[in-house]
Amino acid sequence: MSTSLTALNSNDRDTFTAALGHLFEHSPWVAEETWSRRPFASAEALHAALCTTMRAAPPERQLALIRAHPDLAGRLAQQKKLTAESTREQASAGLDQLTDAELAAFTRQNDAYKAKFGFPFIICARLNAKSAILDAMQARSTNPPDTEFATALGEIEKIARLRLLDVLGTANQP
């Protein structure tokens, strides 16, 4: 369901959070804590404020946000228990149409990544195809933990931006 920036700027905290709480996977606190900075002059300003809230959170809260994301092509996807947004995003990358060999490769990469970093691999699936995602999983697995933590937050910002554009009904505009 789309809404306008004008409507979001006039919403009370609960309505604002209900409209935007899903932008950051299972972490409505980002929208709730950003509400007080209204009004926002543009979608870009709103996105920047949301990202500032996320970045200002303590590392433990950021880690919880990262861990709230599902594995790509993982168990929850196989059981059809992803959020509607994650389901659409993973499908856009072709992750809902994997061969058995591709699924096994994703499972191996997901497991190795989580064992090393303690959180799931995060990439903006809507901006990548399944082969690029697998390549990125392998390449990024050599990163130091701090680099990967920062990269995950950056990818979450990309995901939130696209979800915000969906809410505003501007996802197909430049």
14-40 pLDDT tens trace: 999 999 999 999 999 999 999 999 999
Global pTM reads 0.92
Q: Supply the residues annotated as catalytic.
A: 69
Average pLDDT on 65-70 reads 94
Q: Given this model, what pLDDT does residue 23 score? A: 97
What spatial distance separates the first Cα and last Cα of the chain, rounded to whole Å? 20
Asked if 51 contacts 29 with a C-beta cutoff of 8 angstroms, the reply is no
Q: What's the pLDDT tens digit per position in 128-160?
A: 999 999 999 999 999 999 999 999 999 999 999
How many of the other CB atoms lie within 10 Å of CB of 94? 16
Count of alpha carbons within 13 angstroms of residue 29, beta-carbon side: 12
Residue 55, pLDDT above cutoff 90: yes
SS3 166: helix
